[in-house]
Chains A and B, each alone.
Chain A
Amino acid sequence: MNILTAVLVLGLYWSAAILCADEIFLKNDQILEGTILKTDGKTITLQMSVGGGTAEAPYPVANIQKIKFNNTPEQQTLLDSQNLEQLPRMAELWVKREPFLGMPESNAGEVGLRYVKLLLGKGTKKAAAEAVEVAARVVSGDWSPLRKTEATRLRLTALAASGKVEQAMAESEKIQEISGADEEGFATMKTEARLTRASLASVKLLELEKEWPKWVQMPEKRKEHTELLNTALDGFLFAAVFHPELTNLTAEGLWRAAELSRSVGRQEDALVMADEIILWFPKAEFKTKAENLKRELEKETKAKASQAKEKKL
């Protein structure tokens, strides 16, 4: 390494070190850098470099204006990760940051939300229940109103995913009422809650068909099947009716409705949904799927028509 390279590398290292240092902004305009270690609610302990070593010092919360966690590259990678194997490490980070939720400018809530999303990605009821808890803590404790809103939405999604769909629906309606005029703010949340409910109904429907293959011949099961189908389709089409401005969710709902309609033998309905996606909500992911579905359905219809013709002849 020549001197220039060494200087450059050292410089980079130094700037990275500065970037990664946490900061405490005191009310007297003094800014302290170091690693925020802990808090007992009354003081925040900061570890700072002093000379060649380190020192820890508690600062009264009353004297602090705001704090700023600057994530290390590892922490940032962790936060950006969607790898479920990172869940334990994410949980650790959340435990460390959670006590600072209420401190202005702290990004503890952001960690909480990322953790919630990762938990939801696991797709189990247990993980979803944990996500409900974490999201609830962000809702009640975060200093940022914006994040509280997102946490509220995620909490309801998690609640539904944990199996408490009806509760999630009821709560989302309640929030809608409280919000009064703020239709836009909760449209996504409300639509997601409906989609989740519809998905659960759809899953139950498929389970019923699997468990009761002759459900058509059973009045009780037939009734249950019809109810589940209606719940699912009503939920999937909710966005298309009430919030078409949420184009992604609308396209997703239409696609799910198309899939379900096809699986229960309602090919014509499936075709209508596919066309809706292609012509009016052409979101890349769903448009391709819809086009494929349309092709398949048209092929099937053609085959059926020619079969019928042959039969007639």
Chain B
Amino acid sequence: MRFSFKSQRTLFLLLGVGLTLSQNLAHAQTARELLDAGSFAFSSQDYAKAEDSLNRFIIDYGSSPEAAQSLEAALRLLGVSQLKLEKFPAALPTLERYLKAYPQGEKAEEFTFWIAVAQMKTADPKNAYDSFTRYLKLFPRSVRAVDARFSMGLCLFQEDKFKEVVEYYPPIMSQLNPDQIYQANILRLYCLLQLDKLDEAFTALGEIDPQSEAATKVVAYHLLALDLGSKLLDKDSHRQALSVLQRVFSKTRLLTRQQGKLDNLKVETARLSAVSSPESSFQLLRLKELTLEVEKEVQALEKMKDYDTALQFRIGQCFFELGRPRETYLSMKGMLERLPDTDLLANANYTMLICLTRMERWDEAIQASFDYEKRFAKNKELPNVIYLRAESYQRLYKYQEAYENFMALANRFPDHAQAHRSLFLAGYALLMKEQNADAYQHFEKSLKDFPKSPFSEQSLYWQSMALHFSKDYARSREAFAEYLKKYPKGAHEADVVFRRAQALFNQKLFTEAYKELEDFLKKYAGSAAYDEACNLLGDTYLALGETDRGLAAYKKVSGKDSKLYDYGIFRMGLAYKALEQFDVMLGHFKKFAKERSNSPRLSEALGQIAWVYRRLEQPEKAKEIYWEAIKDHGNDEEAAAVEDMLHTLAKMYRQPDEQAQFTTKLNEIGEEAVSKKKPTLAARAYWMRAALLAKINPSEASQLLLTISDVAQPRELSPRILADVGDELRKAKKNQEAELYYKTILSWYPLSMLKDRAYAGLGLLAWQKGEAKEALDFFVRFEKESIQSPLLADVLQARASIYQEKGKKEEAVKELERILEVKSAKGRLWVEALYRIGEIRLQQKDPKRAIPYFQRIYVMYARWTDMVAKSYWQSGQAFEQLEMKKEAFNTYKEFIEQPHLKETPEYRLAEERIKLVGGA
């Protein structure tokens, strides 16, 4: 939006032109009567009548010698009257005649000035300029000199001499009064804009203080600033544009300020109206004119409906062009919150959405897209908005929503530029959801419907991949072949060739696979799939029994991808093993252990080395290898393999004397580590000793684990040790310390497989503290981590207790039932679960459903005598509640016929009870 300032010019001109008119006035029929009537009307401020009488006097008698004496007064009064009436064309000859006849007359100075003003008013700026020049030459020290100087600039302005205006004012600025300086600066700014001198305009704008007392026509300043900002923006001077636009007031702020200004002007006008002096008359006139101008400004501003939106949008645009998405977003958000809906606001919403995606604020981007659709459903950017929403969902891994939105765009706006891309991405989202068959169908349909789509190649590739992912290798090969036929130099050419070979391998068609792989490696050296192809070729040759060629293939792996490199190394090592080249195998893995000491497969490699030594009947060497590795890596808490090595070593010290030797060695390592300040290694030594004692002497084992907290800080421990020590501390009721150990797992090892233990431990601690909500929350996270965790039964048990405490008995039963599905909990935990379900049913006054659970215990789990006795007793009680005395009697009888249960407290109760029901 560009603002026109043509109408503003009139306002500026008014400022200089509407100046003083002086005092005194006149009246007739005969010469005398006309003169008297003119004088009387003048003194009565009836200027129209005065003009009429005096004009008639001058026309009728002006040239007669008798009137000569009164001619000066008649011309003077007529001139003033015409000026008062603002009849400038008529005033001009009067003033000129007066000055010609009376160059030294009473009104000579004033009329010389007013001739210039009248010329300005009659659109004769050139002569006006000359007249002001003449005035200043004649009356350089007059009170009106300052107005004349200022007005000369206005004359130039009126003549569209913008360059001259720009140059005219600076040298005379010091001679002007403050409000004229302000006006002159505004004029200069306007002219600079007209001349397209944006840099100078930028400087000029900075020199104007719109907050100053002298700044009356503030709206003009802000409109010019908005114009300058817009022009700078168009010329890509974004930072300057921003600086300018940010100075522009909002409409509300501007209107408020000008309303205040108007109030002040009115108060001042009222004050001056009460005073009567030549100066006040001049000031009053100026005030009235200013008030009129400010009112006009306010009215003009009020009519600009899109002012705020245009301003804010431009500010946002500047930030956007400056590559500052955050500030753009903030600016646009501010607009959306405050301004009414317009097309420009729709653009603001769209721009905001773009910025949110650039900042990867996906959730907010999705929300912004919905807001847009709600507010600006008919705007042209809607398809792009839907596209960005779909993309945001995709980036959040919400593939179902991504699919739906990509499809919505493709279906609702089939002719849109993004329609084909969306259709393709919808299929890709299905692949990401692992809906391979659906993805295949999707691509099939889109290829059929839009064979000339720019995404045909991509669609065909991913359609083939859908078959590949579905392990339908025969068809995937065909599909890939079709791709190669259609796009022999396509973007996926190398990958497709590799996938075809891979499909053969996966179908165990090794003789065909190796040929294609060899061809691939020749043709696509350096491609993304090269290393994977090397490994696959190695595997293919090994499968074909061609070990040497296989080894050669693995050797070609570049090492860019450490996982692929390690894979090749291990496959080579195993090939040497198969060839029984143990020395080579040993050297191979030793080299690996040295070169890839940070590999997650280090422990595995050491295991292979140890295996070779054992195979070569050198068990001591095998142990040595492990001890050396433990020494080298034992103090690195991230080297989780060290704990595996310790366990492997433990298995190598089988005999009692060897076990003692192992313990001694661990003691030595532990002590040395403490003295050498290697806390992690010391902790590992303690931990291993505890593991050795776990079954033989649980309390000592427990003590050793607790000791770890004395030798190492949690941060210095591996996740495995943290979990074990945490559990031990929890069991020892050292809850605060335990919590710290569990939390260290979460904070330092977020990818650890042992997070389940941390969540379980924290949940159990929270439960112990009576914080049921927190406990349940941890248990939910626990289950997300691992459904197969050995701690699952413990967690389910705790969760059942929480539900029971909350009176949610059915939920409790569900949890207990789930314990019965956990195989690792078979035994005591199952028995307890069964018993608790029975108990709950009894509490629910449903003995019929309780009895089977008790019966399952004493029928199937005789080993836990305490639970068996309790179950007999509860079962008998349940039968009694059902008034099934015979069944109750039989249950008690069966119970007391088992002498090994005699010591249980329920046994005696059953004996008592059987007497009471016995008669039945």
Contacts and interface: CB of A to CB of B under 8 A. Distances in A.
Given A182-B256, A183-B252, A230-B359, A238 B330 contact: yes
Contacts of B359: 230
A245 B334 CA distance: 17
Contacts of B246: 244-245
Contact of A214 (B252, B319, B330, B749): B749
B898 interface: no
B330 A242 contact: yes
A251 interface: no
B5 interface: no
Nearest to B322: A272
Contact of B330 (A211, A213, A234): A234
Contact of A217 (B253, B319, B331, B751): B751
Contact of A184 (B253, B334, B749, B751): B253
B326 A234 contact: yes
Given A181-B253, A184-B253, A233 B750 contact: no
A241 B331 contact: yes
A198 to B, nearest CB: 12
Given A181-B252, A182-B256, A217 B750 contact: yes
Contacts of B769: none
B283 interface: no
A218 interface: yes
Interface string A227-246: 00010011001101110110
A214 B747 contact: yes
Contacts of B751: 214, 217
B266 to A, nearest CB: 19
A162 to B, nearest CB: 26
Given A181-B253, A230-B361, A272-B324, A241 B334 contact: yes
Interface string B874-914: 00000000000000000000000000000000000000000
B96 interface: no
Interface string A60-104: 000000000000000000000000000000000000000000000
B102 interface: no
Interface residues of A, number: 27
Contacts of B256: 181-182
Interface in A254-284: 272, 279-280
Interface string A159-170: 000000000000
A212 interface: yes
Nearest to A182: B256
Nearest to B397: A219
Contacts of A217: 750-751
B250 A183 contact: yes
Nearest to A220: B781
B3 interface: no
B747 A212 contact: yes
Nearest to A212: B747
Nearest to B331: A241
A110 B283 CA distance: 42
Given A181-B256, A183-B253, A184-B253, A237 B749 contact: no
A240 B327 contact: yes
A241 B220 CA distance: 23
Given A242-B334, A244-B246, A237 B326 contact: yes
Contacts of B747: 211-214
B339 to A, nearest CB: 14
B243 interface: yes
B610 to A, nearest CB: 32
A214 B324 contact: no
A234 B239 CA distance: 20
Contacts of B748: 213-214
B225 to A, nearest CB: 13
B371 to A, nearest CB: 18
A184 B250 CA distance: 11
B250 A241 contact: no
Interface string B308-345: 00000001000100011011001100100000000000
A241 B319 contact: yes
Contacts of B253: 181, 183-184
Interface string B245-266: 0110010110110000000000
A238 B359 CA distance: 17
Interface string A204-229: 00000001111101100100001000
Contacts of B361: 226, 230
Contacts of A214: 747-751
A242 B519 CA distance: 63
A280 B359 CA distance: 24
A128 B331 CA distance: 31
A270 to B, nearest CB: 13
Interface string B107-124: 000000000000000000
B640 to A, nearest CB: 15
Interface string B726-758: 000000000000000000001111110000000
B250 A218 contact: no
Contacts of A211: 747
Interface in A133-189: 180-184
B713 to A, nearest CB: 14
A230 B330 CA distance: 11
Nearest to A216: B750
Contacts of A272: 323-324
Contacts of A212: 746-747, 750
Nearest to A235: B330
Interface in A16-44: none
A230 to B, nearest CB: 6
Given A234-B326, A280-B243, A218 B334 contact: no
Interface centre among A215, A240, A279 (most CB of B within 10 A): A240
Contacts of B746: 212, 218
A241 B750 contact: no
Given A214-B749, A214-B750, A241 B252 contact: no
A226 B361 CA distance: 8
Contacts of A279: 239
A240 B319 CA distance: 11
A241 B327 contact: yes
Contacts of B330: 234, 237-238, 241-242
B477 to A, nearest CB: 38
A219 B749 CA distance: 13
Nearest to B334: A242
A151 to B, nearest CB: 24
Nearest to A268: B323
A221 B326 CA distance: 22
Nearest to B246: A244
Contacts of A242: 330-331, 334
Contacts of B324: 272
Interface centre among B239, B252, B330 (most CB of A within 10 A): B330
Nearest to B330: A241
Nearest to B359: A230
B250 A237 contact: no
Interface string B745-779: 01111110000000000000000000000000000
A55 B330 CA distance: 64
Interface of A: 180-184, 211-215, 217-218, 221, 226, 230, 233-234, 237-238, 240-242, 244-245, 272, 279-280
23 contacts: A181-B253, A181-B255, A181-B256, A183-B250, A183-B252, A184-B253, A213-B748, A214-B750, A214-B751, A217-B751, A218-B746, A226-B361, A230-B359, A230-B361, A234-B326, A234-B330, A237-B326, A238-B330, A241-B327, A242-B330, A245-B246, A272-B324, A280-B239
Given A214-B748, A233-B326, 19 more contacts: A180-B252, A181-B255, A183-B250, A212-B750, A215-B750, A217-B750, A226-B360, A226-B361, A230-B361, A234-B326, A241-B327, A242-B334, A244-B243, A244-B246, A245-B247, A272-B323, A279-B239, A280-B239, A280-B243
Which 10 pairs between the two chains have the least Cβ-Cβ distance?
A: A181-B256, A217-B750, A218-B750, A214-B750, A241-B330, A212-B747, A244-B246, A183-B253, A241-B327, A181-B252
